[in-house]
Amino acid sequence: MKRTISRIALVVAAGAMTALLPALPAAAINQTGCGDRTDFVKVWYDGGRTACFANAGVMAPQLPHVMRVTSGNNNVELMLGDKVRTMPKWSSIVDVEGLDATLYILQIR
């Protein structure tokens, strides 16, 4: 009897915790090869290296000396240096001032 009451209490507590926790969105963003595709988020950094990203989500790529970012077919928010920037689809940011900012946070929506 005591064991049954303990199990019921455990199930009720687990159910209550599940109900109280907010549902978090899945972060499916990933780095991918660029190839010839133009629909990915593409970042030119560190003297000519490139990185491409696909799928919705948030990540912290920590890419140094960013020279250019293109959004491809994505709405993007990013923290570039000490500024938060928003980019609509098919837009780009180019560092014409030589700021050598680091890409800290990238969110694809």
Judge whether 14 lies within some domain: no
Euclidean distance between CA atoms 65 and 106, whole angstroms: 15
Phi, psi of 4 (to 5 degrees): -65, -45
Q: 105, 62 in Cβ contact below 8 A? A: no
Q: Report DSSP state, residue 63.
A: B
Domain carrying residue 50:
28-108
Report the number of distinct structural domains present in the chain.
1
Q: Which residue has the higher pLDDT, 1 or 97?
A: 97
Judge whether 19 lies within some domain: no
Q: How far is CA 22 from CA 10, 53, 63, 80, in A?
A: 20, 27, 31, 29
- Full-prediction pTM beyond 0.85? no
17's tokens: 């915790």
What are 4-55's pLDDT values in tens digits? 554 454 444 444 444 444 544 555 899 999 999 999 999 999 998 999 999 9
Say which CATH number the domain at 87 has.
2.60.20.30
